[in-house]
Structure 1
Amino acid sequence: MSALFEALSARQGAVVEDAAIVHFGDPMREQRNLVTGSAVTLVSDRRVIEVAGEDRLTWLDSITSQALTQLRPGESTELLILDPQGRVEHAAGVLEDGSSAWLIADAPDAEGLVSWLQRMVFRSRATVSIRADLDLLGFFSGAAAEAVVTSAAAAPNGVPLVWADPWPAVQAGGHQYSQVSPHPAAEYQWRLAIVEADAAASAVSDLEVAGLIAADALRVAAWRPRWTSEVDERSLPHESDWIRTAVHLNKGCYRGQETVSKVHNLGHPPRRLAALHLDGSDDVLPAIGSAVFAGDSEVGRITSAARHFEDGPIALAILSRRAPMGDLVVHADGVEIAAAQQAIVPADAGATADVPRLTRLSRRPEGQDPRKA
């Protein structure tokens, strides 16, 4: 365990599960402190990956969904790695410092992501490594925590390593399917600082602290997808509205691009992410994977669930595109939980999905010469 983990886990009320500090006794208060910018979270469920070498950005650009060649020192974005059918295999935040590109990946995905990247280096001047010596501190910008944590962030090349989550706004080359305005992510000013444990432990000693439960509740409320929860073996980026920040629709060729373009321009995603407001009368929070029903038909599953300090019990669910709008029911631990549905990705998502198709030649009136049509 790092010095930072030891220092924070020694705080009063700290509850540790699976080598992570999940809360400090009051997740609701911890959420409020995060939102006001007075608290920090040790984000031990993610890993830091360094991509060094002079070809790092052009190389990453050529194999991922994001346009990266013009990324300047201090700028943040995120990327996806897709399979040939356009399904999500890996996801990572990206921060450039002028000498290295720093990737932030969910811990269960990190080793697989690094292994895949290393196999793809070939003759490119790039190296990829997990930096187990570095920790991550999460916070919301705009108040005391930002100044303290930014000053404690590692800066091996003179640029403080603070990743700004791009989720609050549609990024260049992206597209938003959600029709809700304002989007609930508009105020989601989430930051992750890459820190050296010893220096950070002393720097944050006077700040409020929050656990991962509090941080995740704010993510769910912002409809922010994560690899750990919203991605399975079938996931397309369209289904969770991830094209708004992680896919550049106008960049050059990359693996999976054909499917991304086809679904975006011609078809509807087969599934769609929805936000659920849960009935809290039974005090049961559904587990990831809990089934979602419309009447007697199972139409999807829960991907994330949380108790929010203002909204109460909430969840994200991946549903069949044909799942009806309106109230649903979640089956969890033998309890049926009523759920009010709010569409994140509408059933007719697709930028030009309803453009009329050209008449096929085989359907022209009998005897008509197609060259004269």
Structure 2
Amino acid sequence: MPTLLDTLSARDGAIVDGAAVAHFGDPMREQRSLAAGTAAALLGDRRVVEVDGVDRLTWLDSITSQALAQLRPGTSTELLILDPQGRVEHAAGVFDDGTTTWLIADAPDAEGLAAWLQRMVFRSRVTVTIRTDLELLGFFAGGPAEAAMAAAAAAPNDVSLVWSDPWSAVQSGGHQYSQVATHPAAEYHWRVAIVEADAAASALSSLDAAGLMAAEALRVAAWRPRWTAEVDERSLPHESDWIRSAVHLNKGCYRGQETVAKVHNLGHPPRRLAALHLDGSADVLPENGAGVFSGDDEIGHITSAVRHFEDGPIALAILSRRAPTGDLVVRAAGVEIAAAQQVIVPADAGATADIPRLTRLSRRPEGQDPRKA
């Protein structure tokens, strides 16, 4: 029997990348449709982890960065699992329907997340299961896609629910390090429907289809960190401003909390996330891991690079805390790409940081060299 991926792969122009469709021939148009709420994307690069049992919320509260013990049914949030030194090991979106907690994790991390949770059960009354039978559809609120997903969620299926990405606003107990007057996440009304295959196919039948490239471009434009991109073996949540949505600073003890509190209270995380507007004249998009330079000094690396339908080529990069705040250069495929930097996490980010508010970089005309901006 054909899967939903098989059905979408048969559409004109579809380019398949692993378990998902990268695009359907026109990534820029797909971005516009997705942002307008008239399209949805099959998120084959993510998985669902089901957590059942009467102790599920208090148990998750005790072992993760988020306050979940009193999570109300129908509420969406996000959690991180940290190692004893406060470094990010796992990340997941969270939705509780009153009887079950659903976690959305990047596919490379889902099995590791589920295995770690199972090791932590001990005497708690919980069960942990990866649900490979469920489909994930990403869309933006405020358009026909939202109505189609609401109809799918109302269908008589065993599982039909919608997770609202909390990145669009600073969450209770969180803290934002970015000093921009208007954060681009304010327009990032991202939703993920968790539905059975039949309901997913029905919802997509009335919508435009978008690929993962479109979803990634809109994520990067919103400065939204992701486990598969912005996280490495050294990552602290402070470095990518992840405190704003995934960490509750006033909850009880959990693994890594001491580091979270120390870095937040004293400030100065060792690295910082920055947004880069790339010179598009070379027509080269750097790969993840490409070096970022100030003069001859390598001061960081690209974590996500995309072509945005309005902003042109843009990227997120993890830089050294001491990296200069001016224009930089990215070296990729033997080409030097000029990059205008927007500071996201300031060098002295923390609870007591006192930094003048910065304006967000304005969108520049296509082809303008950022070195002359």
Give the alignment's TM-score, normalised by structure 1. 0.93
CA distance in 2, matches of 1:157, 1:125: 26
Q: Which residue of 1 aligns with 2:258?
A: 258
Look up the equivalent residue of 2:193 and give its one-letter code.
Answer: A
Look up the equivalent residue of 1:79 and give its one-letter code.
Answer: L
Q: CA deviation at 1:70?
A: 1.4
Q: Which residue of 2 aligns with 1:35?
A: 35
Unpaired stretches in structure 1, ≥5 consecutive residues: 355-373
Q: Deviations over 1:34-67 (max 9, x none)?
A: 0110000000000001000000000000000000
Matched, 1:352 2:352: yes
Q: Which residue of 2 aligns with 1:367?
A: none
Tell whether the 8 Å contact from 1:98 to 1:157 is kept in structure 2 after alignment.
Answer: no
Q: CA deviation at 1:267?
A: 3.1
Q: CA deviation at 1:3?
A: 2.6
CA distance in 2, matches of 1:267, 1:223: 21
Q: Which residue of 2 aligns with 1:295?
A: 295
* SS, match of residue 249 in structure 1: coil
Q: CA deviation at 1:73?
A: 1.2
CA distance in 2, matches of 1:112, 1:155: 32
* SS, match of residue 91 in structure 1: strand
Bigger CA drift: 145-154 or 34-43?
145-154
Tell whether the 8 Å contact from 2:157 to 2:196 is kept in structure 1 after alignment.
Answer: no
Tell whether the 8 Å contact from 1:2 to 1:197 is kept in structure 2 after alignment.
Answer: no
* SS, match of residue 59 in structure 2: helix
Change (3 A) 1:3 1:202: farther
Change (3 A) 1:178 1:200: same
Q: Deviations over 1:160-183 (max 9, x none)?
A: 410000001000000000001210
Change (3 A) 1:221 1:353: closer
Q: CA deviation at 1:353?
A: 5.4
Matches within 5 A, 1:276-355: 276-352=276-352
Q: CA deviation at 1:157?
A: 9.3
CA distance in 1, matches of 2:68, 2:156: 21
Q: Deviations over 1:134-160 (max 9, x none)?
A: 010000001101111222138889984
Bigger CA drift: 195-204 or 324-333?
195-204
Matched, 1:124 2:144: no
Matches within 5 A, 1:54-69: 54-69=54-69
CA distance in 2, matches of 1:2, 1:106: 24
Unpaired stretches in structure 2, ≥5 consecutive residues: 355-373
Q: Which residue of 2 aligns with 1:4?
A: 4
Bigger CA drift: 34-43 or 200-209?
200-209
The number of equivalent residue pairs is: 354
Tell whether the 8 Å contact from 1:154 to 1:196 is kept in structure 2 after alignment.
Answer: no
4+ residue stretches of structure 1 with deviation over 6 A? 154-159
Matches within 5 A, 1:262-277: 262-277=262-277
Tell whether the 8 Å contact from 1:155 to 1:161 is kept in structure 2 after alignment.
Answer: no
CA distance in 2, matches of 1:53, 1:156: 23
Bigger CA drift: 312-321 or 192-201?
192-201
Change (3 A) 1:2 1:165: farther
* SS, match of residue 264 in structure 1: helix
CA distance in 2, matches of 1:96, 1:290: 39
CA distance in 1, matches of 2:207, 2:75: 26
Change (3 A) 1:155 1:179: farther
CA distance in 1, matches of 2:147, 2:202: 14
Q: Deviations over 1:58-94 (max 9, x none)?
A: 0000000000011111110000000000000000000
CA distance in 1, matches of 2:46, 2:142: 23
Q: Which residue of 1 aligns with 2:232?
A: 232
Change (3 A) 1:296 1:238: same
Matches within 5 A, 1:133-212: 133-153=133-153, 160-212=160-212
CA distance in 1, matches of 2:346, 2:119: 37
Q: Deviations over 1:259-286 (max 9, x none)?
A: 0000000131000000000000010000
Change (3 A) 1:350 1:194: same
Look up the equivalent residue of 2:293 and give its one-letter code.
Answer: F
CA distance in 1, matches of 2:17, 2:23: 9
Identity of aligned residues (%): 79
Q: Which residue of 1 aligns with 2:94?
A: 94
* SS, match of residue 318 in structure 1: strand
Change (3 A) 1:258 1:337: same
CA distance in 1, matches of 2:298, 2:204: 47
Change (3 A) 1:287 1:41: same
Tell whether the 8 Å contact from 2:160 to 2:195 is kept in structure 1 after alignment.
Answer: no
* SS, match of residue 275 in structure 1: strand
Calculate the aligned-residue CA RMSD, in Å.
Answer: 1.5
CA distance in 2, matches of 1:2, 1:275: 40
Matches within 5 A, 1:11-30: 11-30=11-30
Change (3 A) 1:323 1:27: same
Give the alignment's TM-score, normalised by structure 2. 0.93
Q: Which residue of 2 aligns with 1:71?
A: 71
Tell whether the 8 Å contact from 2:152 to 2:202 is kept in structure 1 after alignment.
Answer: no
